[in-house]
Amino acid sequence: MKHKRQSWGSKIGIILAVAGSAVGLGNFLRFPVQAAQNGGGAFMIPYFISFLLLGIPLMWIEWTLGRFGGGFGHGTGPGIFHTMWQKNRFIKYFGVIGIFGPIVIFTYYTYIESWLLGYTFFSITGKYSGISSPETMTGFLSGYQGIIRNEYFSGIGTAYTFFLITFIINIIVLYHGIKHGIEKLSKVAMPVLFICGILIMLRVITLGTPDLSKPDWNFINGLGFLWNPNFSALKSAKVWMAAAGQIFFTLSVGIGVILTYTSYLRKDDDIVLSGLTAASTNEFAEVILGASIVIPVAFIFFGPEQIMPIAKSGSFNLGFVTMPFIFNKIHYGMFFATLWFLLLFLSGITSSVSLAQPAIAFLEDEFELDRKESLGIFAVVCFILCQPAIFFLANGVVDELDFWGGTFCLVLFGTCEAILFSWVFGIDKAWNEMHAGADMQIPKIYKFIIKFITPAFLLAILGSWFFQEGLPVIFMKNVSQENKKFVILTRIILVGLFLILSFLVRIVWKRKTVQSRSA
């Protein structure tokens, strides 16, 4: 007998859970770096255009698809896609991307998330409080990762311990299900996260000018570096691509997570206002908090000449080298460092549990396994898959996983969703489904946007990105000779995972066909 599907306990629970899935490291690290590298304030023009024409439409599409599929007992891409286009026997295999992508991201994201737990502990204990140079802080990070041995770490043992703790915490939350696990976590983590962010932002604002000989190195000029527009940057297609990519990344659209989360909604639950609220919550975390911490505080301590090289050094360097180094320089630095890494850890765990849910829901819905059985299979498989990211971090494995799981699959799946929703399911039917139980009416211009602009935008992004960035990665143009074997092995594992998931989908639908015929 098929088990009863779970449900959310409250409207605020689903909103905070979806927002928690979206609010992650990208809000506080990736966004300010992207903005600084791509024209400062000018970046915000394509960013908000992408938000209106790409992010919001995809958010509503995924909330609608998820709720619709959930009404038929499906919580993942294969089942939901099949309900939208039952005459096509292959469409369910495109839905596999919505399970495959989250699993791939989970396998490396959980390890990075564990660094945040580790650094929270190091901040409380003051383990790196005596470090006085960025170079030494870089060595501290490399030692923790097991890349080098130094006076701080003799191997990867400490990092692996924090990984085990983080992995177990994720499994415990997932074990308690949607209402008592993920929803409870989101209701606690999200408010704490925002409180931490606001406190850190207020501390950055009140820093003044630490070096009195350089009065221009202040918070206002740091914001100016990020927000003052360089309009010539708008001529670059790369800037528009970066903005659209950031919207994809930050809203967690195209991954498959929102499909699963919203499949637990009731038919008359409002998805228009709830989806908009979740997206707005994420934007507050990104545009207000994310833009007011990392780049401004780095500007205050390093000045206008060093800020661009720091921004170009990447998100990890900013989060794990620049920020803890700066905290060592300010009063009550370890307290604010603890808040900083706790904020990032909470944003990480609300995202990682969401990445796990599609695979678990697939086993529950399609194979009719109970929560314990589904979670057990997921935990064992993903624990094994996490190991290459941990032990071969320095060999390009994480970059490879991030490309296929966090970039390629994300854009491809989002494109499939938009076309299926507007052109196969039909925009008129989709529009009515979207507004079922809605407390507000979406402006009718969005009917045109969702049908024409969003799919065209996505196809343009997919095509441009494929030729500009995809082909070099596929042909390993930037992979060193010694790392190619690790990259090839990673690709073999990924292909194998996708084929296994596709085979499981085939088994399920073959069984359903036999059952329907015998009935």
pLDDT one-digit tens code per residue, 436-494:
999 999 999 999 999 999 999 889 888 877 777 778 888 898 899 999 999 999 999 99
Of residues 380 and 26, which shows the higher confidence score? 380
Where helices occur in 252-332 by DSSP H, the ranges are: 257-262, 272-283, 294-312, 315-317, 323-327
Mean pLDDT value of segment 286-311: 89
CB atoms within 10 A of CB 391: 13
Residue 353 confidence class, pLDDT cut points 50, 70, 90: very high
The pLDDT assigned to 308 comes to 83
pLDDT at residue 1 greater than cutoff 50: no
pLDDT at residue 203 greater than cutoff 80: yes
Q: Which residues contact 484 (CB under 8 A, 6 or more apart)?
A: 476
d(CA 10, CA 8): 6
pLDDT at residue 212 greater than cutoff 90: no
Of residues 407 and 8, which shows the higher confidence score? 8
> Which DSSP helix (H) or strand (E) runs through 216?
none
User: Which tens digit of pLDDT belongs to each residue from 429-444?
Assistant: 999 999 999 999 999 9
Domains located in the chain, CATH noted: 11-518 (1.10.4160)
CA 81 from centroid of its chain's CA atoms = 22
Please state which of the ranges 91-100, 252-261, 298-307, 330-339 shows the lowest mean pLDDT.
Answer: 298-307
Residue 410 confidence class, pLDDT cut points 50, 70, 90: confident
d(CA 73, CA 77): 12
The pLDDT assigned to 2 comes to 58
CA 116 from centroid of its chain's CA atoms = 15
Mean pLDDT value of segment 365-369: 95
Which pair of tokens denotes residue 322?
A: 């620049």
CA 487 from centroid of its chain's CA atoms = 22
d(CA 439, CA 441): 7
d(CA 313, CA 387): 26
Residue type for 303, please? G
CA 69 from centroid of its chain's CA atoms = 23
Q: Is there a contact between 13 and 183 (Cβ–Cβ < 8 Å)?
A: yes
Residue 519 confidence class, pLDDT cut points 50, 70, 90: low
Q: How far apart are the first and last CA of the chain?
A: 15
Please state which of the ranges 351-365, 471-485, 495-509 shows the lowest mean pLDDT.
Answer: 471-485
d(CA 328, CA 336): 10
pLDDT at residue 263 greater than cutoff 90: yes
Mean pLDDT value of segment 263-273: 95
> How high is the mean pLDDT of the chain?
92
> Which DSSP helix (H) or strand (E) runs through 221?
helix 219-227
The b/e string for 126-145 (b: 16+ C-beta within 10 A; e otherwise) is: ebbeebeebebbbbbbbbbb
> Among candidates 386, 369, 362, 384, which has minimal Cα distance to 99?
362
Phi, psi of 77 (to 5 degrees): -50, -50
> Among candidates 335, 290, 400, which has minimal Cα distance to 28?
290
Q: Is there a contact between 458 and 469 (Cβ–Cβ < 8 Å)?
A: no
Of residues 238 and 274, which shows the higher confidence score? 274
